[in-house]
Amino acid sequence: MSFGWPTDPSTNHTSSRGCNEMNFWLNLPRPIIGLSPMDGVTDACFRAVIASRGKPDVTFTEFTHVHDVCRGPEIQLETLLYSDVERPIVAQLYGKDPDLFYQAAHAVCELGFDGLDINMGCPSKNVASSGSGAGLIRTPELARSIIQATRCGIDDWVHGQTLEQVGFKQARIDAFHRLNHRRGSASPTVRCKVPLSVKTRVGYDEVAVEAWLEDLLKEQPTVISLHGRTLTQMYRGAADWSAISRAAAMAKGSGTLLLGNGDIQRPGDIVSRVRETGVDGVLVGRAALGAPWFFHAKEQVRQHACESCAIGNPTDLDPAVPQEERFAVLMDHARQFQALFGQQQFHRMRKHLAWYCKGFSHAASLRAQMVRVSSVDELNQVLMDFTGRAQDRDREELPQSESTEDLSLLASRCS
């Protein structure tokens, strides 16, 4: 079904401004320090825990296929669940059908999100090979059509188009209402225009950031978040921050913010990357796994990143977290997860539990147990047993070294 969104860029709504617009990006401090979307990882519970331990400037949902938003099983809408404590919160969508993006944009607006992000960076084979995610790098005209359709969907919703008028069945509309009620919102969503952003990579099988960015900038997204690897690299090798730097230079003066992403392992990395590349900010991904306190020092990071501050790279922004505090956060995370998703889904929590187990003696042995627990009660018993045994261990033993490769537990379909 086609809903008649404009295919001619001259007829889209990019110049629409006024009281109906709500662009939170313009009010964020610089450099922006956000949490990157990661499929199977950045669920509503994880984001809420991070928000309570040191809130990032902006947060994204896991990506959701536009078909699942419009027509899929209701369980697929779970990725669009969020809480107001996470704001500003951006819904990330993926797919390759402009008509479905047009329709799904209405749903994102109806659900009260602060922004909408289009995933053009996922390298997962089952996503990219279908022409979605990073596969769109090879089809720039389709990528532009998707941006145009999504923007038109946002604008038409702002101007009063209803979910019924755009083709949603009543059962799906009721599902959206249940999501809003679940986060405590009973009032109709105010029809404010939300900003549109894109998350992508520096190329498909080789770095082609100049040509790709030129195409994207023609559509004037509010933000482009750029991962410094190609699709074929997946997560291998090092992120190419020189390519990100060139992209940042291209975006200057365009009205589009450029955020860098890739290999940010500690707060000090943000400082050096911002200074070296001139990006407007960064998105942090794997460094936050098992470390929801990562963003706690973001204000100090911002101060250090200021080019006028000749203070060198910070060395005190990544303090060690005591084991007792680490376990307390772990338990709180697990309790919130079980309360939100139910014990039957607790197996999804196991990877998070494993990520917490690093940086202390016998962390590897505890990690091996974490991938088998099935409830909060089991987890509590495992931690009690581990703590009790620790009193009998050699107190002089040095902490086991933790390889960053442990973070490869990350789900493959993250952007």
- pLDDT tens, 195-228? 999 999 999 999 999 999 999 999 999 999 999 9
CATH of residue 280: 3.20.20.70
Name residue 392's amino acid.
Answer: D
Which range marks the domain in which residue 116 is found?
9-305
Mark whether 206 and 333 lie in a shared domain.
no
Residue 264 near residue 282 (C-beta atoms within 8 A)? yes
Is residue 8 scored above 50 in pLDDT? no
Is residue 365 scored above 80 in pLDDT? yes
Q: Measure the CA–CA gap between 192 and 68, rounded to whole angstroms.
A: 24
Average pLDDT over the chain reads: 89
Residue 54 near residue 292 (C-beta atoms within 8 A)? yes
> How far apart, in Å, do the first and last CA atoms of the chain sit?
28
- pLDDT tens, 226-277? 999 999 999 999 999 999 999 999 999 999 999 999 999 999 999 999 999 9
Mark whether 105 and 228 lie in a shared domain.
yes
Query: Among the three residues 277, 305, 333, which one is the final residue of a domain in this structure?
Result: 305
Domain tally for the chain? 2
Averaged pLDDT for residues 395-401: 50
Mark whether 139 and 268 lie in a shared domain.
yes
- pLDDT tens, 349-364? 999 999 999 989 899 9
What share of the chain in percent tops pLDDT 90?
A: 80
160-178 b/e with 16+ CB inside 10 Å = b? ebebeebebeeebeebbbe
Task: Report the pLDDT value the prediction gives residue 49, as an integer from 0 to 100.
Answer: 97
Averaged pLDDT for residues 113-117: 98
Q: Does pTM top 0.85 for this prediction?
A: yes
Cβ neighbour number for residue 189 with a 10 Å cutoff: 14
Averaged pLDDT for residues 64-86: 96
Mark whether 149 and 258 lie in a shared domain.
yes
Mark whether 148 and 184 lie in a shared domain.
yes
- Rg for the chain (alpha carbons), in Å? 22
Q: Measure the CA–CA gap between 46 and 89, rounded to whole angstroms.
A: 13
- pLDDT tens, 296-319? 999 999 998 886 554 555 666 777
Mark whether 229 and 331 lie in a shared domain.
no
Is residue 402 scored above 60 in pLDDT? no
404 occurs within a structural domain:
no
Residue 105 near residue 159 (C-beta atoms within 8 A)? no
Query: Among the three residues 237, 270, 305, which one is the final residue of a domain in this structure?
Result: 305
- pLDDT tens, 368-384? 999 999 999 999 999 99
